Chains A and B, each alone.
Chain A
């Protein structure tokens, strides 16, 4: 049965490595290429200079049951002299039309010890949004633009191991920046955005029977955020999942959205905006 092992029993694995390289490595989409190409940009740093020159640098890309490994070379070439080093990858050929959904991670490994990593990046979506809301220093809501079908103005994407992301239809000029800066837009949309996110939390909970089964749990971050900012009502997660719990979950969702509207002063903001508009001041000013 469960013993002290259920506490983390592992050695300090990170202590033998240089750790995260997310600041040093970025991937840029190359516009108007067919098949679609991306460029991996590697910037040398004190971390990479501490790693042996002959360590191998590889990037892994995956989506929907496909995994592709691309060898970038050895450390001294890839992260040379703090200068930008670039490598182009043909993601269109590797992943087809769904290339936008790719997640990638980079690893620097040594041949001395099987699988041992000197440094790595987190698993990162190729199209990652810009942070819109942070909690405890971590993004919990992101924003990006993309092509969306039909009459969809925006939707919420739930990328693997990343924060929920508002995806705004790129055909609507300026809409993304209005969401960030315009009180009328943000205070009107935010309740629906939060409702979408709460629906996903409930849906994931119904499927998995628990919250926080992955190493990165955006659901846990959101529940902490909600409890911290809006309401101290707990997520109703105890007991058997059945009709009683569905009722509790729906009540919880309604309660959170109501408290959120209070928190952002939705009514007051709208009154101010509308009265400014009526007096000719306009809310864009």
Chain B
């Protein structure tokens, strides 16, 4: 157990974390993450969360991305304003990346980290498409918005990968933000008993009739109906009943 108070980086802390990422990614360093930055007042500052006591165990092992997001949303980032502190702030999201670094970045047998693109760890708020690449932010944001329906994106997904399904859907913010649309996606493509996406639903060569890309891809259902219907005010049932025939085989 290794409990630390939840904080956020200051600019110097963020710079140090970036330097660490650069060293392990580009210079072949096999050094351990600089966990001391998490608490050092020279590199971090208090994150004013609503709960009085806010500590996380940075050695806690999570089963999957859903488990991580559930833990963070249920017990740490409890209120809307708590979550805003994380979702609007590169310094807070990046601090969490370091806190859970040993789980969100895989280490090879030779002891070196298999570091992905930097925006997987440092939240890039400038690019809409980039925010979902952050491994912690995307899990928390998706869970916060869709709770049980976020299983499609997060359940049984290793913490160190974003997942293709997330990439396909999350880049369309108007889909990802819409709880009814994501509930329909969940109903169509999530296999509750196997706890995995249904077989072949993500295929793209060829795309199966009614497959995921026929729902969210170019010229697919969501694209075709998004203007002539107001998905923002519709329930999942109403959207479900609107689906063309090709989606029938995914409805059970």
Contacts and interface: CB of A to CB of B under 8 A. Distances in A.
B228 A13 contact: yes
A23 to B, nearest CB: 15
B128 interface: yes
B173 to A, nearest CB: 6
B18 interface: no
Contacts of A212: 218
Interface residues of B, number: 45
A16 B228 contact: yes
B33 interface: no
Given A2-B208, A213-B217, A214-B218, A115 B174 contact: no
A64 B134 CA distance: 13
Contacts of B59: none
Contact of A64 (B125, B172, B208, B246): B125
A58 B233 CA distance: 10
Contacts of A2: 206-209
Contact of B232 (A5, A8, A14, A60): A60
B167 A114 contact: no
B81 to A, nearest CB: 11
B145 interface: yes
B206 A1 contact: yes
A47 interface: no
A90 B228 CA distance: 28
A217 B131 CA distance: 19
B231 interface: yes
Given A2-B208, A98-B88, A117 B230 contact: yes
A109 interface: yes
Nearest to A96: B88
Interface of A: 1-3, 5-6, 8-10, 13-14, 16-17, 58, 60, 62, 64-65, 67, 69, 96, 98, 101, 107, 109, 114-117, 120, 122-123, 158, 160, 204, 207-208, 210, 212-215, 217
25 contacts: A5-B210, A6-B207, A8-B219, A9-B244, A13-B224, A13-B229, A14-B228, A58-B233, A60-B232, A64-B128, A65-B131, A96-B88, A98-B125, A101-B128, A109-B233, A116-B229, A116-B230, A122-B227, A158-B127, A204-B129, A207-B129, A208-B167, A213-B171, A213-B218, A217-B218
Given A207-B167, A213-B217, 8 more contacts: A6-B214, A13-B228, A17-B228, A60-B232, A115-B231, A214-B218, A215-B219, A215-B226
Interface of B: 87-88, 125, 127-129, 131, 133, 141, 145, 167-168, 171-174, 177, 204, 206-210, 214, 217-219, 223-235, 238-239, 242, 244, 246
